[in-house]
Amino acid sequence: MSFTGKYELQSQENFEPFMKALGLPDDQIQKGKDIKSISEIVQDGKKFKITVTTGSKVLHNEFVIGEECEMEMLTGEKVKAVVQMEGNNRLVANLKGLKSVTELNGDTITNTLTMGDLTYKRISKRI
């Protein structure tokens, strides 16, 4: 199953408490909560390029499944991580106390971020 495509954010759960826990300033949280972000994924075998555009903020990460890479977090901090593929439709990464699971089902991508007992869920649809 290929992840390649453009996806628009449809809904999200726990955005504000999660961003507060990450340490984002309130003004950024308020600006970001109503913006429909667009995720663009290019998959070439085990190689991925992911660009997430939220308003004027662009987050760009590249990685190869199973290899250590440097990833930019929502706060702008860069951390080392290894992304694993589970089955043919789940990407799992652990970034500095944060677990990210991205699951593709048909034209819907669900991204779940977990930090301690706090979970933030984003659901995006292919456009």
Task: Tell me: pLDDT of 96 over 80.
Answer: yes
Q: What percent of the chain has pLDDT over 90?
A: 76
Rounded Cα–Cα distance for residues 7 and 84 (Å): 21
Q: What percent of the chain has pLDDT over 70?
A: 100
Where does the pLDDT of residue 103 fall: very low under 50, low under 70, confident under 90, or very high at 90 and above? very high
Q: Where are the domains of the chain?
A: 5-126
Amino acid 118: pLDDT: 96
pTM: 0.90
Q: Into which CATH architecture does domain 5-126 fall?
A: Beta Barrel (2.40)
Task: Tell me: pLDDT of 69 over 90.
Answer: yes
Specify whether the CB–CB gap between 92 and 80 falls below 8 A. no
Amino acid 3: pLDDT: 97
Strands 68-72 and 98-105: unpaired
